Structures are given as C-alpha cells and as structure tokens.
Structure 1
Amino acid sequence: MKKHTFILALTIVLSVMLSACSSSNNEAVVETNLTPKEMIDEMLAKVEQPSLMEVEEDMVAQLYHLAPSLLEDYSIRMPMMNVKSNEIAILKVKDAKDISTVETAVKERATDIQKQFEQYLPDQYENAQNYKLVTKGNYILFVISESADQLVTEFDTLFTKK
C-alpha cells in the first residue's frame, strides 16, 4: 500500500513540475492590429525614404519568386525610378510552416536587386547588399534602405506581446 501511495505522490509531483516548466517556456505571442499596408505607412511617416510605389498583385510572383497564395496579406513598396535600390515589404504568411519558404523567396529578391545594381550604381549595390530580413510571428519584413536599422526599429514598435 505504501508503495502505491509513494508512486502516486511521485507521479503527481512530476506532473506538476513538468506542467510548470512547459508553461514558463512558452514564447510570447506577438500581435499587431495593423495591416501590412498600414504598418509600412506608419514606418514611412517616421523614416523618410525616396518615393516608393505599391507593387501590384500580378507582379508579386514575378518579383518575389513566390505564390501570393502563401500570404494572408502583404504590402510591397519599390522605387518609382530605377536609380534607387530602396525597397520595403511586409509579408504576412498564412501558415507558419511556410515562413522559411517565403524567407528564401525574399532572399532571392535581394539577390536580384543586387545583380541589378552590381555594375550600375556602386552605392546602391552596397545598399542592396546590406538588406534586413526580420521575422516576427507570421510577419516578414524585408528592407533595403540607408535607414534600414531605423525601419526595423519602427517595425518592432508596431507589435505587442501577449
């Protein structure tokens, strides 16, 4: 009888310890109530950039090497004139399992921009080489800018931890 009581008590103690450990290791969920377009608008209101235009839906697959169906929502801005490498994109991925696929596609886009400016404008080529790729929850931020660090900081402020 004492053996059964000891095993029962040990089982209860271990269960409590395991459940306490697992709940403390949960990462904070990051959330925002803004759309990617609103996020970029807020970021650009605080960090000046050259004139950027919104990329149309039919160009996303061609420029970013990915199926727009993987995205729940997105906003991509690129220069109006082909003399600047600046680009900013916020992509909200539908399913977290596709984040690495989208990140790979964004890296391909960065390589394309670098090739475009490699022999053309050395300062813009260097700018393109120093791109930022940040993932926060299901959101991916891609930035090519002289002010990339400031834009990443502004991006971070748009999220709250739950």
Structure 2
Amino acid sequence: MKRFLSVLLMFAIGMGMLAGCSSDGGTTEELSAAKVGEKIQQTISFQDMKQGDLEKLQKLYHIEAEEVEDFILYTASSNVKADELAVIKVKNTNDTENITEKIQQRIEAQTIKFKDYRPEEYFLIEKHVLKTKGQFVLFAVSKEVDQIESVFDGALK
C-alpha cells in the first residue's frame, strides 16, 4: 500500500511539474510582435509593402528604441499609398499611452497629406485601427483593417 501511495504521489508531482512547465503560447509576455506579424501575414498579403527598421520607426513615429521591446513595421512601397502596419511591443506597459499619442501625430500628418491629394487613400486613413492590448500597440491603415484587427485580437487572447 505504501508503494502504491508513493507511486501515486510521484505521478501527481510529475504531472504538476509538467502542467507548470507547459505553455499555451498565448500569453502576451511570451508573444513577440514578430509572431503577431506572422499571424497577420497568414491572413493578408504584405506584397505591396516594404518592411521598416528601427530607423524608419523613429522617423515616422518618433519612438525611441528604449521604449520598444520588439516591433514589426510595414509601409506602402509608394508614397502615394497610405498603407501602414505597425505592431509594437513596449518594454513598459505604462508607455503604451505615449506611443499611441506619437502614432496619433502620424495619423494627423497623413490625414493632411492625403485629404485633398488622394481621397481614396484618405478614406483608408480615416478607417485606421489604433489600439492597445497589454504591452502591444497595433496601428493599421489598410483595406483589410478589419481582418488585421481580428487577427491581432485573436493572437493576444
């Protein structure tokens, strides 16, 4: 009987350790902006967009490297298009409001740029998505903005 209880106890401890070490991959602490971007790219095509780097992130949004843990950035390949996608994982959740304010300045600048020049692109800017969820900030200007938002929300459940 003692042996049976010992085996049962060892089994319970082992299962507890396995459950504690398992990961569902859905927690925002483990999720990177690149992984969210990959999920979005599985839904929509980035074919007509070019990937941006830290320099481009700083130029467009005036966001400093110290504020960002990870990010993806895609912009239109032509300056006559308004398409943009940024998924930013901030180092500190308290910085999300500051980041969204900086992105809002970009939205305002793009609105002025496209309003009279390219009405169809201006419409996309007006329908943009700018939202935060935990450490993540999503900014999207696209015809597929609803799909992008849906994938973003699903990735961060």
TM range (shorter): 0.7 to 0.9
Identity of aligned residues (%): 23
Instruction: Give how far 1:42 is off.
Output: 2.0
Instruction: Give how far 1:83 is off.
Output: 2.5
| In structure 1, distance between residues paired with 2:93 and 2:36 | 20
Give the aligned partner of residue 45 of structure 1.
Answer: 42
| In structure 2, distance between residues paired with 1:45 and 1:91 | 18
Instruction: Give how far 1:34 is off.
Output: 3.8
Give the aligned partner of residue 116 of structure 1.
Answer: 113
| In structure 2, distance between residues paired with 1:38 and 1:152 | 15
Greater Rg over alpha carbons, structure: 1
Give the aligned partner of residue 156 of structure 1.
Answer: 153
Instruction: Give how far 1:48 is off.
Output: 3.5
Give the aligned partner of residue 87 of structure 1.
Answer: 84
Are 1:104 and 2:101 counterparts?
A: yes
Structure 2: any 5+ residue segments left out of the alignment?
A: 1-25
| In structure 2, distance between residues paired with 1:58 and 1:49 | 20
TM-score when normalising by structure 2: 0.76
Give the aligned partner of residue 23 of structure 1.
Answer: none
| In structure 2, distance between residues paired with 1:82 and 1:61 | 18
CA contact (8 A) 1:50 1:79 kept: no
Instruction: Give how far 1:146 is off.
Output: 1.6
CA contact (8 A) 1:43 1:155 kept: yes
* Deviation digits for residues 101-121 of structure 1 (CA, Å, limit 9, x no counterpart): 001011111112222212221
CA contact (8 A) 1:32 1:158 kept: no
Change (3 A) 1:138 1:38: same
CA contact (8 A) 2:40 2:152 kept: yes
1:101 partner SS = helix
1:99 partner SS = helix
| In structure 1, distance between residues paired with 2:124 and 2:151 | 19
Instruction: Give how far 1:67 is off.
Output: 1.5
CA contact (8 A) 1:31 1:159 kept: yes
| In structure 2, distance between residues paired with 1:55 and 1:129 | 22
TM-score when normalising by structure 1: 0.74
CA contact (8 A) 2:28 2:135 kept: no
Are 1:66 and 2:63 counterparts?
A: yes
Structure 1: any 5+ residue segments left out of the alignment?
A: 1-28
Q: Where in structure 1 do 4 or more consecutive aligned residues deviate above 6 Å?
A: none
Instruction: Give how far 1:49 is off.
Output: 5.0
| In structure 1, distance between residues paired with 2:36 and 2:64 | 22
Give the aligned partner of residue 125 of structure 1.
Answer: 122
